[in-house]
Chains A and B, each alone.
Chain A
Amino acid sequence: MNAWEEGPALSEDPSRRGRHRPGALMGAAALAVFGVWSLSATLFGTRTVTMGLEGEGLDGEARVENLRRMNRALETELHLAEAGEPYILLDAPGRVLVLKSHGAVLRKFPVLEARVRVTRTPRRGRMAETALDTVWVQGALLPERKKERMVTLSDTVSEPDLSASVAYIPPTPEEEYPTPPAFRIRCSGGVSVLVRPERPSAPSEEESRPALSLPAKMAQWLRLRPWAPGFMRVELTMTEEEAGALYRAYTDGTPLVVSTTNGS
C-alpha cells in the first residue's frame, strides 16, 4: 500500500477522484445557489409595504396617525440637521433621494421606482414598521468602493522631465468606479437599500462590451451579500447616471432616513 493511500482524505483512487471532482463541484455550487435563493425567497417574500400614504382619502384616525408620522420624520430630520453631518433623506412619495447637510440640499437623486420589502415573519414585520421614518445608521456600501492611494517617498523623487510628451492622466470617477449592475447600502439592524440602475433599452456602448461570464456574474451577485441578515429592504430603480452618481458619492456611515409619508 502506498503511504499516501493511508490518509483518510486520500483513501480513494486518485484517478477516480479526478473524474468525480467536476460533478461534485457543480453539485455543491448548484446546492449553494439554490440554498441562497431559497433563503432569500423565504426571508423576502411578496409582502410589500405601500409607500406614499396619502393624507387624502384617509379616515380620521388614519389621517391623525399620518400626521404623527410626518411630524416624527420632521423631528428626525431636525435632529440630523442640527448634528451637522451629511444625511440622506429618501422621500419615497416624492420619488427622490436627497443628500443634505445642515438642512441644505447638497444633491438630489431622482428615483424611478421605490418599494419596501419586508420579511414575512410577523414579529420582524412589526419591526419593519418601526424602521420607517427613523434613522438608519452605520450604512456600508456593497460592493465597496476601494480607494487606492499612491505613496511617494520624498527621496525617490527626481526633478520632473519637462521634455516628456505624455504625462499620466488619472481616470475620471466614472472610469474608476463604473456603475455596478446593482448595489446595496446596508445599515445596522437589518435594513438595507438595494439600488438597481435602469439600463437604456436602445443599443448602446454598453451592449458592445463583451458579456460577463457566468462566474463573473455570480461573483458580482455575491458581492451584494444576498445572504446578509435583514428584515427590511428598500428597492430603488434609478437611471444609470443617477445610480452611478449615488454609488460614487455615498460615504459609508452616512445616516439614512426613509420617509413614507407625504402631505395631508
Chain B
Amino acid sequence: MALGALALAFSGWVLVDRKPVRSASWREGGDAILHPSTAVRDSAELAREADRLRAERKRLEARVVALQPRGNYVVVDRGNNRIYLRRGDSVLVDAPASTGSGDILQETVGAKRTWVFDTPPGRFSILSEREDPVWTKPDWAFLEEGLPVPQRLADRRDYGSLGEYALDLGDGYMIHGTLYERLLGRSVTHGCVRVGREPLRAIVSKTRVGTPVFIF
C-alpha cells in the first residue's frame, strides 16, 4: 500500500503543470519580483526611491478612480437575482430581482428563428426612463403562448405588465416593474430585469438617462 501511495504521489508530481503564471499583457514590470532591486543602497537613495514610488502610486490611483462612475450606478447580479443601486462603496438599494430564465424557444415554421432568454452581461447605460410604460410585444411573446403573430401594431400593445416604470437599456432589454412580485428572486424573465414596486421607485428617483448599469 505504501508503495502504491508513493507511486501515486510520484505520478502526481510528474504530472504537475510546470507552466509559470505568465500573461504577457499583465507581466510588464513584474520581473522586479524575481530580481529584487540591487541598485538601492543607502538610506538617502532609499528615501528618494520611496518618494518616487509614492508619487507613482498616486498617479495610478487617480487613473483607476477616473475610470469609475462618478455618481450612482445600477448593478444586476444574475447569479443571485439581485439588483443594487451603488455609489462607490455605498449600497443605496439592495433588492431581489428576476432575470432571464435561460430557456430557448425555437420556431418550427417560417423563418425558424431561435430565441435564448438570457439577461446579457456587460456595461450598459440607461437610454430612457418611461412612466406607465406600454409594452410592444415581440413575436416570441405570441409564439410561446401558441398564438398567431398579429400583423397590426395595435394588437401587440400590452398595458400594465411592465409596472410603473421602465428603464430602457437598448436592444429590447429593460429594467421594469412587474405584476408578479411573488416571482422576484427567480430566473423567469425573457431577458429583462424585473424589480419590485418600491425598490424600482427608489432606483428611478436616484438615476437618470446616462446612468451606468453593470450586469454580471
**Segment among A3-11, A12-20, A143-151, A214-222 that sits at the interface with chain B:** A143-151
Asked whether B25 is an interface residue with its Cβ less than 8 Å from the other chain, the reply is: yes
| A134–B16 alpha-carbon span in the complex (Å) | 21
Contact A154 to B101, CB < 8 A, known contacts A101-B214, A102-B67, A104-B68: no
Contact mask A23-65 → B, CB, 8 Å, 1/0? 0000100111011101100110000000000000000110111
A158 on the B face (CB < 8 A): yes
Of B28-36, B129-137, B158-166, B193-201, which binds chain A?
Answer: B28-36
Are B109's CB and A154's CB within 8 A?
yes
Question: Which of B138-146, B169-177, B202-210 contacts the other chain?
Answer: B138-146
The reply to whether B21 and A74 form a contact with Cβ atoms under 8 Å apart is no
A178 within 8 Å of B (CB atoms)? no
- Taking residues whose C-beta sits less than 8 angstroms from the other chain, chain A's interface range is 35 or more
On whether the beta carbons of A101 and B77 are closer than 8 Å, the reply is no
Q: Which residues of chain A from 61 to 78 have a CB within 8 Å of any chain B CB?
A: 61, 63-65, 67-72, 74-78
- Alpha-carbon distance A69/B116, docked complex (angstroms): 44
CA distance in complex: A229, B69 (Å): 40
Q: A134-B21, A159-B145, A170-B186 are in contact. Are A64 and B40 (CB under 8 A)?
A: yes
As a 0/1 sequence over residues 130 to 149 of chain A, the CB contacts with chain B under 8 angstroms (1 = contact) are 11111111000000000101
Chain A residues, CB < 8 A from B20: 127, 130, 189
Q: Which of B4, B54, B79 contacts A248 (CB 8 A)?
A: B79
**Which residues from chain A contact B57 at a C-beta distance below 8 Å?**
67, 70-71, 74
Q: Does A249 reach chain B (CB closer than 8 Å)?
A: yes
Q: Give chain A nearest CB distance to B194 CB in angstroms.
A: 13
- B contact residues, total (Cβ < 8 Å): 83
Report the bound CA distance from A247 to B40 in whole Å.
45
CA distance in complex: A151, B115 (Å): 10
CB atoms of B79 and A104 under 8 A apart: no
| Complex contact B65–A103 (CB within 8 A) | yes
Assess whether A103 is in contact with B64, with CB atoms less than 8 Å apart: yes
Find chain A residues with CB under 8 A from B29 CB.
Answer: 72, 75
Distance of A81 Cα from B1 Cα, bound (Å): 52
Q: How far is the CA of A46 from the CA of B119 in the complex (A)?
A: 44
Q: Are A147 and B102 neighbours in the complex by a CB distance under 8 Å?
A: yes
Q: Considering only CB atoms, which chain B residue lies closest to A155 in the complex?
A: B108
Question: In residues 85-113 of chain B, which contact A (Cβ within 8 Å)?
Answer: 86, 88-89, 101-109
List B contacts of A108 (CB < 8 A).
89
| B185: A residues at CB distance < 8 A | 172-173
**Structural contact, B64 and A74, CB atoms closer than 8 A:** yes
Instruction: Name the contact of A152 in the complex, choosing from B63, B103, B182 (C-beta under 8 A).
Output: B103
Q: Which residue of B lies closest to A158 (CB)?
A: B146
Q: State the Cβ distance, B160 to closest chain A Cβ, in Å.
A: 17
C-alpha spacing A227/B11, complex, angstroms: 10
Residues of A with C-beta under 8 A to B86: 104-105
Pick from A72, A103, A231: contact of B30, CB below 8 A.
A72
* In the assembled complex, B127 has its CB within 8 A of some CB on chain A: no
Using CB atoms, name the residue of chain B closest to A249.
Answer: B79
The answer to whether A190 touches B21, judged by C-beta atoms less than 8 angstroms apart, is: yes
Minimal Cβ-Cβ distance residue in A for B113: A154
> Chain A contacts of B81 at CB under 8 A?
172-173
For the complex, give the distance between the alpha carbons of A85 and B4 in Å: 46
CB of A199 within 8 Å of the partner chain? no
CB-based contact A34/B144 at 8 Å:
no
Interface members, chain A 146-202 (any B CB < 8 Å): 147, 149-160, 169-173, 177, 187-191
Say yes or no: is A129 at the interface (Cβ < 8 Å to chain B): yes
Considering only CB atoms, which chain B residue lies closest to A73 in the complex? B60
A112 interface residue, CB < 8 Å from B? no
Known A105-B86, A154-B107; judge A99-B23 contact (CB<8 A): no
A-B contacts, 15 of them at CB < 8 A, read A34-B4, A43-B13, A68-B32, A105-B88, A107-B84, A127-B21, A130-B33, A137-B23, A154-B106, A155-B108, A173-B80, A177-B79, A189-B21, A189-B22, A251-B216
Other A-B pairs beyond A43-B16, A99-B216, 10, CB < 8 Å: A74-B61, A75-B29, A105-B89, A106-B216, A152-B104, A152-B144, A154-B106, A160-B146, A245-B77, A245-B80
Chain A to chain B: the 7 pairs with minimum beta-carbon distance, closest first: A35-B8, A103-B67, A248-B79, A67-B53, A60-B46, A229-B17, A39-B12
